[in-house]
């Protein structure tokens, strides 16, 4: 499950530089996530007379894909509420949003930012991503916590959520006409 640090009262501490940002909300990790990073390149083959193997020429590059498996741990009503809120926030990131100006029926899902130290990008930066899928299965073999007030809030004491992201780039840094005129790049 990874590194888990507790404070003097036994509650879990969050890892400050390991989080997922959904607009203004930050989902901090309370245990180290299982992260994978994947990108591919495509090459074409060109045959050459008298060669024992073909020439390889670079064609294009694929999307950079980040896998992020996080663990929600619930041990009291505060952590249970936070984990349920964060789960719903992540699930919402694959659905279209309402246009705040009511001009069009919907707008695309939010662009997220991820950070885990300097593992995925420089330590002073965040990596902009879109959530392409999530997978959560509520385990029957784990202990579930519930509110004692009859509110009907049930949540497993330990829940793993697998997220698939694709990296996207901030439009401020893409080469556009103004940037080409001003900087040449």
In angstroms, rounded to a whole number, what is the distance separating the alpha carbons of residues 179 and 175? 6
In contact, 143 and 45? CB cutoff 8 Å: no
Domains and CATH numbers, the chain: 15-183 (2.40.30)
The pLDDT, as a whole number, for residue 184 is 47
**Residue 18 binned pLDDT confidence (cut-offs 50, 70, 90):** very high
Share of the chain above pLDDT 70, in %: 83
């Amino acid at each position: 499950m990874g590194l888990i640090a507790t404070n003097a009262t036994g509650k879990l501490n969050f890892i400050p530089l390991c989080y997922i940002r959904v607009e203004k909300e930050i989902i901090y990790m309370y245990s180290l996530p299982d992260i994978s990073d994947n990108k591919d390149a495509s090459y074409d083959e060109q045959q050459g007379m008298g060669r024992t193997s073909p020439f390889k020429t670079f064609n294009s590059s694929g999307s950079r894909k980040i896998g992020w498996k996080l663990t929600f741990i619930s041990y009291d009503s505060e952590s249970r509420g936070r984990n349920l809120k964060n789960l719903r926030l992540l699930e919402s990131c694959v659905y279209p949003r309402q246009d705040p100006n009511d001009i069009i029926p919907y707008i695309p899902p939010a662009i997220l930012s991820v950070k885990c130290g300097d593992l995925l990008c420089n330590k002073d930066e965040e990596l902009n991503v879109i959530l392409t899928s999530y997978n959560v299965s509520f385990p029957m073999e784990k202990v579930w916590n519930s509110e004692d007030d009859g509110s009907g809030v049930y949540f497993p004491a330990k829940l793993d959520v697998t997220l698939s992201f694709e990296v996207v780039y901030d439009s401020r840094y893409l080469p556009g006409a103004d940037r080409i005129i001003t900087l040449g790049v």
